[in-house]
Structure 1
Amino acid sequence: MRERIRLFFILSITFFLALSAISVEAKQSKSNKPSKAELAGISRADTKTNKDGLLRVASSNALIVNQNTGEVLFAKDTNTLTSIASVTKLMTAMVTLDANLPMDEEIAITNEDVDTLKNSSSKLPVGTVLPRSELLKIALIASDNRAASALGRNYPTGKAGFVNAMNIKALQLDMTRSEFADPTGLNNHNMSTAEDLVKMVKAAYQYPEIREITTTASYEAYVKGHHAPVNFNNTNGLIRKSDWIIGLSKTGFIQEAGKCLVMQAMISGQPMIIVLLKSYGSATRSADANRIRKWIEKTSSISYLNQSKQDS
């Protein structure tokens, strides 16, 4: 009898301990479940105001540089080589403009310009004929791949020669860790680093055409099969925000690169170059950019107040 009671007591304790362990594990599993913000690529810390005043961004690679002084305000994994997607098109634009080709020359979109690598969509049907100047605008504003492909294909030495010119230009800009494989950015072998892309943005900013085009909110063009003009919106929604003063902008996305954004913007009276790479989530790169602007504005205000106190 005593043996039965002892056995019952041991089994009861074992069952109670097992039940407790399951309960604890369930609670831990629930607490570790990612929030919607985390699924979008933003950690809980990034969705809140940082009380310590430090900047945190969700993008895997980020670099903020004062364009005038070269001062690095923030850096995160800036020398890692990564795909850059349609940020490539800034180099495409520079090579196109450097060639001094007639911008009013009409170019047809052909089957060669159709994306068979990523199967991306385009508002430019095959057979559409537009001047080189309009293709450049559509490639930069709407990040249209057929437009960029047509620009490269109609280079004097063809698309292969165009890509070669892109890589020569990169070396001239001291972008020693960068490599370009096509004019669209669809090829994941278009590779660079945040540090190299700062150099590319600085160079692209020297082209008035690129500054004007990339900061245009939308553009209309007549394309084949449409009686009315087709609208091409800028892929960077921040262009349409009144609280931003943007001097140059380009976005990019393919799966291998994540969401990318490079910009030149005036913040607190200073020209800043912002590079954000490998963001995940529909609004992560924009959220990072907004967080950066507010952080610079806040730190600039604190610096100004401290300087005023010292001067007085």
Structure 2
Amino acid sequence: MYRRVLSGLMCLMFISAMSKAYAHEQRAETLQLASVNAAAAYAGSNELVVDKHADRIVPIASITKLMTALVVMESGEPLNEWLEFRKRHLPAAANAYTRIRVGSEMRRADMLRIALMSSENFAAYTLARHHPGGYDAFVQAMNKKALELGMTRTTFVDPTGLSVENRSTAADLIRLVNAASKHPQIGDYSTTRYYTGRFRQPRYSLSFGNTNVLVHRDSWGVGLSKTGYLSEAGRCLVMLSNMNGEQVVTVLLDSLGTRSPMGDAGRIRNWLDTGAPGKVAAAAKAYEQEKNAAYTTARRQDAVSDEQAAVGVN
């Protein structure tokens, strides 16, 4: 009797889960998002409930720093160790303005905090410089970790995201957020609202603010966050947050405006709750059409190049 009841309950749970997935699948096509590429999944799962070009390989800008944080945490290096900000040994791939003074020092934990919450590029670069084996070993560790997580369409070339060659997919980044969320420090550091960083040799302080406005709103319960921007990547956001009582991982890549990813997060939350498709501004739709056309052209050009290489055409 007990086994029959247990078996029945398990069947009901399975049917409920399948019905929920089917309902999401049926409604997903109506969801309107400003981001050109997007994905969402319930925390701890890599099964997508939102999939908008989720397998398209695109530049990810400073979303890169989430992998930087994961490599730092899993290196086992002491977080309270003081590290020196050394002059760059390689030129930055894009504008790398910083207020931090070359030669000054900061604790590893504090570097990681400002790299995540405020997207401080010099901090992310310096973390890699002090990795066992040095900068190149750090980048290798980033790519190795990506493969371990099943991020098969992801490539890293630097720890900051300033290079457009740091590329991934929305689906791959779901895996990264799930892995990073297992480290409480990454969640804490990335959702710090404001922070005063303290340096030594010389002694000075700098104030930093979080680049994601949603961390300031308690109703979102943001547990992990990272923003990113390059002109080639558009506005990007990955986030673990509370949506209608569920923990949801959201990945939003290549939006037109600064607030567009936050608006998309709201549209996903409403859609999960009510099925409402939401509305997207005309400018965002035009931007999406332009970027999709560019992606299609690039894919065709790559296909032609591959075909020419296969037959030995120079």
Q: Name the TM-score, length of structure 1 as normaliser.
A: 0.75
- Cα distance, 1:225 vs. partner? 9.5
* Residues 1:193 and 2:169 aligned together: yes
- Cα distance, 1:70 vs. partner? 5.0
Identity of aligned residues (%): 39
Give the match's secondary structure for 2:188: helix
Matched residues, number: 249
Q: Which residue of 2 aligns with 1:306?
A: none
Q: Which residue of 2 aligns with 1:67?
A: 43
- Cα distance, 1:110 vs. partner? 1.9
Q: Which amino acid aligns with 1:222?
A: R
Question: Does the 8 Å contact 2:155/2:166 carry over to 1?
Answer: yes
Distance in 1 separating the partners of 2:46 and 2:274: 20
* Residues 1:247 and 2:223 aligned together: yes
Distance in 2 separating the partners of 1:77 and 1:134: 36
Q: Which residue of 2 aligns with 1:87?
A: 63
Deviations 1:240-259 (A, max 9, x none): 12321111111111111111
- The one of 77, 89, 99 aligned to 1:101: 77
- Cα distance, 1:224 vs. partner? 6.5
The 1:68–1:196 alpha-carbon spacing in structure 2 relative to 1, beyond 3 Å, is: closer
Distance in 1 separating the partners of 2:147 and 2:138: 14
Give the match's secondary structure for 1:150: helix
Question: Does the 8 Å contact 2:46/2:174 carry over to 1?
Answer: no
Question: Does the 8 Å contact 2:92/2:162 carry over to 1?
Answer: no
Is there any run of 5+ residues in structure 1 with no aligned partner, and where? 1-51, 301-312
- The one of 90, 95, 107 aligned to 1:119: 95
The 1:132–1:56 alpha-carbon spacing in structure 2 relative to 1, beyond 3 Å, is: same
* Residues 1:178 and 2:154 aligned together: yes
* Residues 1:297 and 2:253 aligned together: no
- Cα distance, 1:86 vs. partner? 0.7
- Cα distance, 1:198 vs. partner? 0.4
Is there any run of 5+ residues in structure 2 with no aligned partner, and where? 1-27, 277-314
- Cα distance, 1:227 vs. partner? 7.0
* Larger Cα-atom Rg: 1
Distance in 2 separating the partners of 1:256 and 1:236: 20
- Cα distance, 1:114 vs. partner? 8.5
- The one of 157, 163, 184 aligned to 2:139: 163
- Cα distance, 1:290 vs. partner? 1.7
Q: Which amino acid aligns with 1:166?
A: M
Q: Which residue of 2 aligns with 1:220?
A: 196
Question: Does the 8 Å contact 1:113/1:146 carry over to 2?
Answer: no
Q: Which amino acid aligns with 1:252?
A: G
The 1:144–1:94 alpha-carbon spacing in structure 2 relative to 1, beyond 3 Å, is: same
Q: Which amino acid aligns with 1:167?
A: N
- The one of 258, 263, 286 aligned to 2:239: 263
Question: Does the 8 Å contact 1:113/1:149 carry over to 2?
Answer: no
- Cα distance, 1:72 vs. partner? 2.7
Distance in 1 separating the partners of 2:252 and 2:231: 15
**Coordinate RMSD, CA, aligned:** 2.2
- The one of 176, 201, 210 aligned to 1:234: 210
Q: Which amino acid aligns with 2:224?
A: L
Give the match's secondary structure for 2:51: strand
The 1:174–1:68 alpha-carbon spacing in structure 2 relative to 1, beyond 3 Å, is: closer
Give the match's secondary structure for 1:63: strand
Q: Which amino acid aligns with 1:234?
A: N
Question: Does the 8 Å contact 1:127/1:224 carry over to 2?
Answer: no
Distance in 2 separating the partners of 1:69 and 1:214: 21
Give the match's secondary structure for 2:266: helix
Deviations 1:113-134 (A, max 9, x none): 7863212322312122101111
Question: Does the 8 Å contact 1:103/1:131 carry over to 2?
Answer: yes
Question: Does the 8 Å contact 1:180/1:191 carry over to 2?
Answer: yes
Q: Which residue of 2 aligns with 1:19?
A: none
- Cα distance, 1:89 vs. partner? 0.6
Q: Name the TM-score, length of structure 2 as normaliser.
A: 0.74
- Cα distance, 1:199 vs. partner? 0.4
Distance in 2 separating the partners of 1:99 and 1:231: 28
Distance in 2 separating the partners of 1:292 and 1:217: 23
Give the match's secondary structure for 1:169: helix
Give the match's secondary structure for 2:124: helix
* Residues 1:209 and 2:172 aligned together: no
Question: Does the 8 Å contact 2:105/2:201 carry over to 1?
Answer: no
Q: Which residue of 2 aligns with 1:49?
A: none
Q: Which amino acid aligns with 2:212?
A: N
Q: Which amino acid aligns with 1:218?
A: Y
